[in-house]
């Protein structure tokens, strides 16, 4: 069974649906650890309720990204993590994590990449008045939302759409797309024997 780490910075609705899919037996994996860079984030409460171990930290308590990512890698190795899924983790992954887990880090981003990378992708798409936007799941490389795309799903922006209603639509898509992609990736990794 794969051991996965989820990384998050905020509310953790994606974390929640992934944890529930695992509990239901839809995804064959254990969430070995939640890594969170915002010790006050609601996602930590969700993890505690589900009795999932948490490593939370504040970047400003470390002298560099190398230093806090080295600590994260130690925690991941201790927990026997095979794959990392970013679920609203609002930091660029650095060389230390990429060296340790390159090719095994996946992110979900709320736009049809390569359109609207970076922060507030939903707001960027809304302000650009695009008619179609969506969600992308991709492997993480050293760039900002630039890694190879695994899957995407689109959504139409209605005439009377608001920023909030668009966010709701996008999150609804995320909550089915991400668990499905995770399930497929982990199944493929087990079949190919590349779990680690």
Task: State the Cα–Cα distance between residues 86 and 125, nearest whole angstrom.
Answer: 21
* Residue 14 in marked binding region: yes
By the 10 Å C-beta count (0-12 exposed, 13-18 middle, 19+ buried), 177 is classed as: buried
Q: Specify the residue, 87 or 105, whose C-beta has the smaller distance to ligand GAR.
A: 87
Indicate the residue among 77 and 156 with the shorter CB distance to ligand GAR.
Answer: 156
Is the CB of 130 or the CB of 190 nearer to ligand GAR?
130
Q: Spot the catalytic one: 46, 75, 104, 109.
A: 109
Residue 109: active-site member: yes
127 is in an annotated binding site: no
Q: Are 34 and 50 in contact (CB under 8 A)?
A: no
The CB-of-193 to ligand GAR minimum distance in angstroms stands at 30
Closest approach, Cβ 73 to ligand GAR, in A, equals: 21
Measured from each CB, the residue nearest to ligand GAR is 88
Q: What does the block give as tokens for 39?
A: 């010790």
Asked if 44 and 58 count as a contact pair (C-beta separation under 8 A), the reply is no
93 is in an annotated binding site: yes
Q: How far is the CB of 93 from ligand GAR (least distance, A)?
A: 11
- 65 annotated binding-site participant: yes
Q: What is the rounded distance in angstroms from the CA atom of residue 181 to the CA atom of residue 161?
A: 28
Tell me the C-alpha distance between 82 and 26, whole Å.
18
- Which residue matches tokens 């600590």? 71
Active-site residue numbers? 109
Binding residues: 12-14, 65, 90-93, 107
């Amino acid at each position: 069974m794969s051991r996965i780490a989820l990384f998050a910075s905020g509310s953790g609705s994606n974390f929640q649906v992934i944890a529930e899919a695992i509990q239901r037996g839809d995804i064959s994996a254990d969430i070995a650890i939640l890594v969170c860079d915002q010790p006050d984030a609601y996602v930590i409460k969700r993890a505690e309720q589900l009795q999932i171990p948490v490593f939370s930290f504040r970047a400003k308590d470390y002298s560099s990204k190398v230093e806090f990512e080295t600590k994260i890698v130690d925690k991941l190795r201790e927990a026997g993590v095979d794959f990392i899924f970013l679920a609203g983790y609002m930091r660029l992954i650095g060389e230390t994590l990429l060296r340790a887990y390159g090719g095994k880090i996946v992110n979900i981003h709320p736009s049809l990449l390569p359109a609207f990378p970076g922060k507030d992708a939903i707001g960027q798409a809304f302000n650009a008045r695009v008619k179609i936007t969506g969600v992308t799941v991709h492997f993480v490389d050293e760039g900002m939302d630039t890694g190879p795309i695994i899957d995407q799903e689109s959504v139409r922006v209605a005439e009377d759409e608001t920023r909030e209603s668009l966010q709701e639509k996008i999150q609804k898509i995320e909550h089915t797309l991400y668990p499905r992609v995770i399930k497929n990736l982990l199944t493929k990794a087990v079949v190919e024997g590349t779990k680690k």
